[in-house]
Chain A
């Protein structure tokens, strides 16, 4: 069978904040139409680029996140184009919109106007801080959204400024887009159950706030401990965080009693450490209170071998240990090679490139994605079906 969203049409008026969500819908069978201004979607200007290629087809963000979509150029300043967009929205099942509060309403293309003629539309509004409240007109970015969430303050070393989680990977934007996708499917279900669509008010700020429980208010009010930056280890217990091997870093996460027993036993075998197997350290609170000591024992163990040795032997012993990978080491990871994770796709500029494959696997045939469209590639085709003059 085809994907569960076959036959649905999603109009994507958004940029990066909705893109991953549109991509999921396209992969699962929906017709996803990216409405672009004549100068192109903002993602088309985002580095990194295909070497040697120029605007508007060179951006790898576009080449990846717009896969499987169609491109329709609409000049919002032109009355006929606005009318065309209005007709398209009047037939849409889902709309992803990241224009600020009121921007489209002023042009008669906002949710209220469209829903009047298309009451079934599921309209996901993506804004910096939501459609209401004191900050509704504030601007944002990935960095600014993390700053507002309380998460940014707690990431980094204590002798340097706080640092954004995921750096240039724009994780806050992707979290927002994933929420947009969840909200859109919920809206589709609602349309079936109550016979009408609805407005989903989603903000970058709350998408990041939803990732804050580990540094967040409920925890703070409970223990009244000010959350400070702790570098690459967590104070909850130890070992918990990044540890150096001979040739790189590993991530060790020991919370469960069985994991502690296993790593303590290992340190005992390799380093002859008798103290570490004292049952008093089985309590993770005790390990938290003696973290410098515990860390020194664990580092003695990690520094006695290479990253690969520590990863494989640690996993053999059932301990949650992973390498600290880079983009480069991921691309040669043996597991990802064996699962056939990496896929290839044609670039809008021509030629092929390796890409991450589907984020999940299904027993039914769900996932299917072709290349990203060139600017305006589907304008003619879509005009032919939406303009009354063409007699569609």
Chain B
């Protein structure tokens, strides 16, 4: 069994924040309905695979081809309904009446316009666990209520971009990843589960409004307090630590080969000295953590002088052998050769309707008694419309046919069009553990 078997989740999710929460619930067995419309798709469906572009014959596969679809939507059921049409909204309401959880990161105003604000949903399902993640909260009286902010806007908005980068330069920001999206999704998963605990104990549902703006700032408490007490506004300091030195990313032998090292206290420094050149031990400026922090520029220079003579994989292993926290700054090419990651089974390969197989990352929660799993990759857009509307929502076959004929609901485009991922034929070389999992050979 899985812990959320029988729990039904109605999800209106875009990109990462809500979809990543829904996917964690699916991992534990929840039936997650990804309600979406081809006329207003989840943006990740637009970020198709480069190798498919320009091939008009494969155009119907484009909305399903993004690697992000399985990454954030593994094992969900895609129900394609046009919520802008009254017939579509009615079908959604009938589905919702049979769900336990409502999860959305649509803007609060958009939800209200669709008649899917908390009060409206509660009228359909009184004990609903309703969790929304709007950028700025769901109170129409508040100044930024109608504003839009996506995941990658959040890091700059909440001060995290200002904290990211080297001190002598403009913010490097976090253009390539959006950590606030993932942190919001974890808040959402926590609130859904806490809400289910409350509901199962008391019979009462709950409305949780997670303004991503506020949720992410709540992770910066110590800096906000420091500013309030002293007027000091913490800003970026590269890779350095506020607490100890050395901590940094240092060059190693080769092009773009780096190592991250954290020497967290004097004991760790003494252990580092057992493999470091004697000059580091002899230098009085580096004798104690306090003196190392006072002389951090010289220290970093000395560290870089040492590390640059080494292969980064070898040096990381040597440092770890003496108990110093260190790791190569891994590229994807490195991760493919990382025995620890590959043996852990982090990457899963599962069948999907459009592809022979789909690849996606795992969950950090490894539970001894009730392990989670995903049986399938990401759903094709509209793949499960019929079965969910006639099943959970309780519509008749005729009603579903009418919705489809009318364009108020959609099914998967060209289900006969099945293609292989470019890596399909050599996946077993990269992921040997996965290749022996019989579910992959379906």
Contact = CB atoms under 8 A, between A and B. Distances in A.
Contacts of B67: 213, 218-219, 221-222
Contact of B364 (A210, A214, A334): A210
Nearest to B161: A324
A356 B368 contact: no
A37 interface: no
B435 to A, nearest CB: 15
Interface in B361-407: 361-370
A141 B262 contact: yes
A65 interface: yes
B333 interface: yes
Nearest to A46: B243
Contact of B173 (A232, A353, A357): A232
Interface residues of B, number: 160
A217 B359 contact: yes
Contact of A328 (B169, B195, B209, B227): B227
A249 B142 contact: no
Contacts of A287: none
B242 A129 contact: no
B306 interface: no
Contacts of B210: 359-360
B189 A209 contact: no
Nearest to B263: A141
Interface in B165-187: 165-166, 169-179, 182-183, 186-187
A216 B368 contact: no
A126 to B, nearest CB: 10
Nearest to B167: A167
Given A231-B172, A326-B159, A354-B228, A216 B239 contact: no
A140 interface: yes
A26 B333 CA distance: 42
A179 B242 CA distance: 25
B370 A164 contact: no
Interface in B185-211: 186-187, 189-191, 193-198, 200-202, 204, 206-211
A189 B2 CA distance: 11
A364 B206 contact: yes
Contact of A186 (B218, B328, B367): B367
B365 A359 contact: no
Interface in A123-150: 128-130, 132-135, 137-144, 146-150
Interface in B330-382: 330-336, 338-341, 343-344, 346-347, 359-370
Interface string B16-29: 10000000100010
Nearest to A176: B364
B330 A339 contact: no
Contacts of B240: 168
Nearest to B147: A315
Contact of A222 (B178, B213, B347, B423): B423
24 contacts: A1-B202, A4-B201, A24-B190, A46-B243, A51-B229, A65-B222, A130-B366, A135-B340, A144-B327, A146-B260, A165-B179, A178-B186, A182-B189, A187-B367, A190-B3, A201-B366, A222-B67, A251-B155, A330-B217, A335-B143, A356-B214, A359-B214, A362-B206, A366-B194
Task: Please provide the 10 A-B residue pairs with the shortest distance between their CB atoms, ordered closest to farther.
Answer: A147-B260, A141-B262, A64-B221, A232-B173, A206-B364, A251-B156, A178-B186, A198-B369, A139-B325, A359-B218
